[in-house]
């Protein structure tokens, strides 16, 4: 954006990652309606993620799942004072352009929705609105960052209520980063080739031992203990999808997961917030899930 | 020792700034830890989340008592927490400094901006890079509140006695000036 003052800038990478910095140590909750958004905000969510249906329902009902309707998005933005994120289909840059024009605060180019493009993800550098993208490993994380993502989250297995895949993805990213820090400079180009990742980003990770953007957990978080586990494994914040609004008492569970994310290293707090939570969502054993039914294999 | 309130937000970024100044610092997550520090930073984050966590673990009175004796510094969401009154929407606050603030006073994320502001802690003005992220705007400055920085015609940093506030994020730039100023207020 131009201005009389040439130092005035919007949409810079550090403004994009800056908002993610503000979300650290907090919980971002999937919501479908304005009513759910209000429950999430009142429970202490740092942000809400708008989508057409929560992953557990997408899994159960099938069909094509898309960006939220404009009416729903407007209602959610109206009712909350916290940042509003919204999901778009992988590669669907027209949906993303609409969300940017609507004033949504973060766009999630998400495998949870039905992909719009089987070859290409969105050119996220072309946008002023920041993007978050999912990953299963370091190569995938760095490809998305190369395209302009300002925040990375694990894919996990959305709508499963099972934390095992998020753990696998977080551990994989962490292990691969640690390995890069042990390599000599002449080994980094080969590592970039093996990871399928931009060389400059591989160099950066080798020098710094972490991702150049915030690294959050998502996909299967259903309990306060799950949130604590992901934070202890190195996540800087937590996304909760179906885990809240598919549970017996969403408001109480949401608040418990918020408190567990703050005090993730304190088992006494985890006990206190985990008591009398009501029913957790019914989970799915990953082994019983057909490869074609896994959401995490969407995108590359 | 400077404490950084570690309930939620970018507390780690403040720690890095203080580390760069060789100023001892620690994250504070429990009220009893307030006894171990000489000054407290309220970091950026989401003010509604911070309020819920302060309610859940009875932070209000201990923080009020702490600020009566020792310096505090609130950035962005932290400024909202220590202000006298808050609008858009109205919400409770600690009322430690006589300013009124408007949440998201510059708009949504798409309106978040970087600019060069004027920092004048001791009568001398110098340019400072500033980042405003869904930032609150200082809508009213009470008598006895000193303006310490301006950007685009607005006061963006102010002090009243032992309370310092900024609507921008000095912890996200490389400029250590604001943290050095607060460390001097604390006397560490």
Q: What angle do CA A220, A84, B157 make, to 5 degrees?
A: 120
pLDDT of residue A290: 87
pLDDT digits (tens, 9 = 90+) for A134-163: 999 999 999 999 999 999 999 999 999 999
Strand locations in B43-153, DSSP E? 72-75, 83-87, 97-102, 113-119, 126-132, 137-141, 146-151
CA distance B144 to chain A (A): 30
Is A83's CB within 8 Å of B76's CB? no
Q: In terms of CA atoms, which chain A residue is nearest residue B134?
A: A19
**Whole-complex ipTM:** 0.96
Give the residue-averaged pLDDT of A58-77: 94
pLDDT of residue A69: 97
Give the residue-averaged pLDDT of A53-79: 93
Whole-number Å distance between alpha carbons of B90 and A253: 26
pLDDT of residue A285: 84
pLDDT of residue A5: 57
Is residue A1 pLDDT above 50, yes or no? no
pLDDT of residue A81: 96
**B102, B151, B169, B179: which one is catalytic?**
B169
Chain B hits for A8, Cβ within 8 Å: 113-115, 152
Closest CB to A15: pick one of B52, B104, B112: B112
Is B9's CB within 8 Å of A22's CB? yes
Provide the 3-class DSSP secondary structure of residue A67: coil
Nearest Cα residue to B44 out of B175, B176, B168:
B168
Query: Picking from A203-207, A277-281, B89-93, B155-159, which range would have the lowest pLDDT averaged per residue?
Result: A277-281
Q: How confident is the model at residue A287 (pLDDT cuts 50, 70, 90)?
A: confident
Give the up-direction half-sphere exposure of residue A281: CA atoms within 13 A in the CB hemisphere. 30
Asked if A21 and A46 count as a contact pair (C-beta separation under 8 A), the reply is no
Is A8's CB within 8 Å of B115's CB? yes
A87 catalytically annotated: yes
Strand locations in A22-142, DSSP E? 27-31, 47-50, 84-89, 106-110, 131-135
pLDDT of residue B129: 97
B146 catalytically annotated: no
Q: Can you read off the two tokens belonging to residue B129?
A: 């890079």
Q: How confident is the model at residue A72 (pLDDT cuts 50, 70, 90)?
A: very high
pLDDT of residue A6: 66
Give the residue-averaged pLDDT of A180-197: 98
Q: Which fold has domain B2-186?
A: Rossmann fold (3.40.50)
Asked if B28 and B34 count as a contact pair (C-beta separation under 8 A), the reply is yes
Is A22's CB within 8 Å of B29's CB? no
Q: What is the pTM of this model?
A: 0.96
Give the residue-averaged pLDDT of A48-67: 91
Is residue A288 pLDDT above 90, yes or no? no
Q: Can you read off the two tokens belonging to residue B144?
A: 């006895």
pLDDT digits (tens, 9 = 90+) for A218-273: 999 999 999 999 999 999 999 998 999 989 899 999 999 999 999 999 999 999 99
> What's the mean per-residue pLDDT of chain A?
95
CA distances from A125 to A138, A148, A149, B62 (A): 20, 5, 8, 45
Chain B hits for A18, Cβ within 8 Å: 112, 131, 133, 169, 172
pLDDT digits (tens, 9 = 90+) for B89-138: 999 999 999 999 999 999 999 999 999 999 999 889 999 999 999 999 99
Q: In terms of CA atoms, which chain B residue is nearest residue A129?
A: B110
CA distance between the termini of chain B: 7
User: What percentage of chain A reaches a pLDDT higher than 90?
Assistant: 85
Is B103's CB within 8 Å of A19's CB? no
Is A25's CB within 8 Å of B11's CB? yes
Interface test with A, best of B110, B129, B150 (most A CBs within 10 A): B110
Q: What's the full length of chain B, in residues? A: 188
pLDDT of residue A3: 46
Give the residue-averaged pLDDT of A166-183: 98
**B14, B76, B151, B179: which one is catalytic?**
B76
Whole-number Å distance between alpha carbons of A103 and A158: 26
User: What percentage of chain A reaches a pLDDT higher than 70?
Assistant: 98
Interface test with A, best of B29, B54, B112 (most A CBs within 10 A): B112
Is A44 part of the contact surface with chain B (CB cutoff 8 Å)? yes
Is A234 part of the contact surface with chain B (CB cutoff 8 Å)? no
Write out chain B's pLDDT in tens, 188 residues: 999 999 999 999 999 999 999 999 999 999 999 999 999 999 999 999 999 999 999 999 999 999 999 999 999 999 999 999 999 999 999 999 999 999 999 999 999 999 999 999 988 999 999 999 999 999 999 999 999 999 999 999 999 999 999 999 999 999 999 999 999 999 98
Chain B hits for A81, Cβ within 8 Å: 48, 88-89, 103-104
Is A81's CB within 8 Å of B108's CB? no
């Amino acid at each position: 954006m131009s201005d009389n003052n040439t130092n005035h800038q919007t949409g810079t990478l550090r403004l994009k990652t800056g908002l993610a910095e503000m979300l650290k140590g907090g919980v971002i909750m999937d919501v479908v309606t304005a009513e759910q958004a209000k429950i999430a905000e009142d429970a202490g969510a740092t942000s809400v993620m708008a989508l057409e249906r929560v992953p557990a329902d997408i899994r159960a009902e099938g069909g094509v799942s898309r960006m939220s309707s404009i009416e729903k998005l407007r209602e959610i933005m109206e009712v909350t004072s916290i940042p509003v994120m919204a999901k778009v289909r992988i590669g669907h840059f027209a949906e993303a352009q609409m969300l940017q024009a609507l004033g949504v605060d973060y766009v999630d180019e998400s495998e949870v929705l039905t992909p719009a493009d089987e070859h290409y993800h969105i050119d996220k550098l072309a946008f002023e609105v920041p993007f978050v993208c999912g990953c299963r490993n370091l190569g995938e994380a760095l490809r998305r960052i190369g395209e302009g993502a300002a925040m990375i989250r694990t894919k996990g297995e959305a709508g499963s209520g099972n934390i095992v895949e998020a753990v696998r993805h977080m551990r994989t990213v962490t292990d691969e980063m640690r390995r890069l820090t042990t390599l000599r400079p002449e080994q980094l180009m080969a590592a970039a080739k093996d990871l399928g990742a931009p060389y400059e980003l591989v160099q950066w990770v080798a020098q710094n031992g972490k991702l150049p953007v915030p690294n959050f957990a998502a996909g299967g978080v259903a309990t306060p203990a799950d949130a604590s586990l992901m934070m202890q494994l190195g996540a800087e914040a937590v996304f909760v999808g179906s885990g809240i609004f598919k549970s017996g008492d969403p408001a109480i569970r949401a608040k418990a997961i918020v408190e567990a994310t703050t005090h993730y290293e304190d088992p006494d707090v985890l006990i206190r917030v985990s008591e009398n939570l009501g029913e957790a969502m019914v989970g799915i054993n990953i082994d019983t899930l057909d490869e074609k039914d896994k959401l995490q294999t969407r995108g590359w | 020792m400077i404490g950084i309130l570690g309930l939620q937000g970018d507390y780690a970024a403040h720690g890095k700034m203080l580390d760069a100044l060789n100023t001892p610092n620690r994250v504070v997550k429990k009220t009893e830890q307030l006894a171990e520090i000489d000054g407290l930073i309220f970091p950026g984050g989401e003010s509604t989340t911070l309020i819920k966590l302060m309610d859940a673990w009875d932070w209000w009175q201990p923080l009020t008592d702490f600020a009566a004796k020792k310096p505090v510094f609130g950035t962005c969401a932290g400024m909202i927490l220590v202000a006298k009154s808050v609008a858009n929407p109205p919400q409770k606050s600690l009322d430690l400094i006589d300013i009124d603030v408007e949440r998201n006073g510059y708009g949504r994320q798409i309106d978040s901006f970087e600019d060069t502001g004027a920092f004048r802690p001791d009568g001398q003005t110098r340019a400072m890079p500033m980042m405003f992220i869904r930032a609150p705007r200082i809508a009213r400055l009470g008598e006895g509140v000193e303006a310490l920085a301006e950007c685009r015609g607005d006061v963006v940093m102010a002090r009243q006695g032992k309370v310092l506030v900024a609507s921008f994020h000095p912890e996200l730039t490389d400029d250590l000036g604001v943290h050095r100023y607060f460390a001097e207020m604390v006397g560490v």
